[in-house]
Amino acid sequence: MQVLYRSTRGTDKAYTASEAILKGLSEDGGLFVPDRIPKLDLPLSALAGMTYQETAYEVMRRFLTDFTAEELKQCIENAYDEKFDTPKIAPLVEKNGTFYLELFHGATIAFKDMALSILPHLLTTAAKKNQVKNEIVILTATSGDTGKAAMAGFADVPGTRIIVFYPKNGVSPIQEKQMVTQKGKNTYVVGITGNFDDAQTGVKKMFNDKELAAQLDAAGFQFSSANSINIGRLVPQVVYYVYAYGKLLAEGKIHEGEKINVVVPTGNFGNILAAYYAKLMGLPLGKFICASNENKVLYDFFSTGCYDRNRAFMLTNSPSMDILISSNLERLIYRIAGNDPEKNSRLMEGLAKDGKYEITDEMKQNLQEFYGNYATEKETAGAIRRLYEETGYVMDTHTAVAEAVYEKYRQETKDETKTVIASTASPFKFTRSVMNSIDGKYDALSDFELVDQLSRIAGVRVPKAIEEIRTAPVLHDRVIAAEEMPQAVKEILGV
């Protein structure tokens, strides 16, 4: 049975998966959601023997129903290959009785690689299926990881160009160096004098600018998105949790049907929403523990039912979570509003107009499976140091936010359900923050001296992604104000 996609803000038209992937964002500003969540109708025990690629096929074929088996298998094969530094793709590591799902073994050492390795293949396949003649322009805002992972995926892919906007002073030095040294004739990186929310808002405005769309179309271009607003990013993320469950079964850590909890460090909410979709498919998941840093808008939402972005924007040591507008939360709001686009639209209008909205008591009842909390900078650093001292395992700052929040959850609830923490980035991506957390003496070292020292103390080889940028020349140095983004796009495309 075919799964079709509708906007969270209107039901006038249903789209196939390939059409929704191509469009990225609905014309009415809403996000595409499946009209039903397909069931994972196979024995859970079967998951135990599957590779990551096999698991991906079983999950994704149920959502992307207008892709043929051959098309989907080809996309998966092209995505999850030697670009990853382990054939496991996403190893599950146990430390102190907790399981860390390492989602950072791809080309840019962050979890965004997991979905952004396959999105270019889904997108170009979708373009062929829909007889698209225009060149596809991927327009993306990044808080640090999405941009580099998207560019790595799309670099020199025929029929595409990619333009990435990032907050000039809102990413780590390693993140910035990875982006501004990106090769590829079709890749463009632009810094903005603002924060991630400014970049994301600018991108959304361009998607909804009909005059700009007409100008682009006349010149042979059309926009699509690599942000997690694209359903082609969200569906591949569902795979993580199904795969992790299969590995726990394979290793005899759980029995078939046993519930597990998941902890996800999140700013934009896509990764944890994917876990929720996995549960709706039938995966035995218990609590969804939503971990925030000091930009704790999601924690406040789960605590009060009020989403309020009217607050100071904090720059933290977990910059990929420095977000006050969690775009993917809209997909959850739509669902707990009874899949009612009018209710959802009213709330989103409130967010756009007043910077806040409040859900009803009835909607709050539908959030019982979610637990939200946050970690301060001090708590994040403490979590890194403690796990290293106890086990020798070094985690990055984002994973440490999840670790600290999970510890709060356990103390509050005494829940000892087996738990998977989504480990979303390599510690090598945030070496200064990580090494300072372990011992302040490291702060005197340069960025790449820190990389080598981290490799020594963790007993882990320096990732290829870091070695490549040690001496790489800067290829992108443009910095603009947020309001200049549309003009920059026109100049890049020669429109």
Residue 112 annotated among the catalytic residues of the structure: yes
Tokens 């709060």 label which residue? 408
**32 within 8 A of 51, measured Cβ to Cβ:** no
- Tell me the C-alpha distance between 285 and 97, whole Å: 18
Across residues 466-475, what is the average pLDDT?
92
Predicted TM-score of the model (pTM):
0.92
Nearest to 402 by CA among 318, 488, 472: 318
Considering the chain, what is the average pLDDT of its residues?
95
User: Which pair of tokens denotes residue 322?
Assistant: 């420095």
**263 within 8 A of 399, measured Cβ to Cβ:** no
Instruction: Classify residue 177 as left (phi > 0), alpha (psi -120 to 50) or beta.
Output: alpha
Residue, of 24 and 244, whose pLDDT is higher: 244
- Tell me the C-alpha distance between 488 and 485, whole Å: 5
Across residues 164-193, what is the average pLDDT?
94
- Tell me the C-alpha distance between 133 and 243, whole Å: 36
Between the alpha carbon of residue 195 and those of residues 165, 252, 349, the distances in Å are 10, 45, 22
Check whether 18 has a pLDDT greater than 90: yes
**229 within 8 A of 5, measured Cβ to Cβ:** no
The pLDDT score that the predictor gives to residue 229 is: 86
Check whether 398 has a pLDDT greater than 90: yes
Check whether 12 has a pLDDT greater than 90: no
Q: pLDDT grade, residue 225 (50/70/90)? A: confident
Contacting residues for 355 by C-beta, under 8 A, at least 6 apart? 308, 309, 310
Tell how strand 187-192 and strand 160-167 pair up: parallel
The pLDDT score that the predictor gives to residue 198 is: 94
Catalytic residue from among 39, 83, 112, 183: 112
Q: For the chain, how long is the longest CA-to-CA vector?
A: 61
Between the alpha carbon of residue 432 and those of residues 42, 220, 291, 318, 392, the distances in Å are 45, 44, 22, 12, 18
**Cα-only R_g, the chain:** 21
Tokens 């720059």 label which residue? 315
The pLDDT score that the predictor gives to residue 79 is: 95
User: For residue range 64-118, what is the model confidence (pLDDT) as tens digits?
Assistant: 999 999 999 999 999 999 999 999 999 999 999 999 999 999 989 999 999 999 9
Handedness of CA 420, 424, 428, 432 (dihedral sign): negative
Between the alpha carbon of residue 147 and those of residues 64, 255, 292, 309, the distances in Å are 24, 39, 21, 24
The pLDDT score that the predictor gives to residue 432 is: 95
414 DSSP β-pair partners: none
Check whether 14 has a pLDDT greater than 90: yes
Q: What does residue 373 show for φ and ψ, rounded to 5 degrees?
A: -155, 180
Across residues 414-429, what is the average pLDDT?
97
Check whether 491 has a pLDDT greater than 80: yes
The pLDDT score that the predictor gives to residue 147 is: 85
- Tell me the C-alpha distance between 469 and 72, whole Å: 33
Q: pLDDT grade, residue 227 (50/70/90)? A: confident
- Tell me the C-alpha distance between 108 and 306, whole Å: 35
The pLDDT score that the predictor gives to residue 143 is: 82
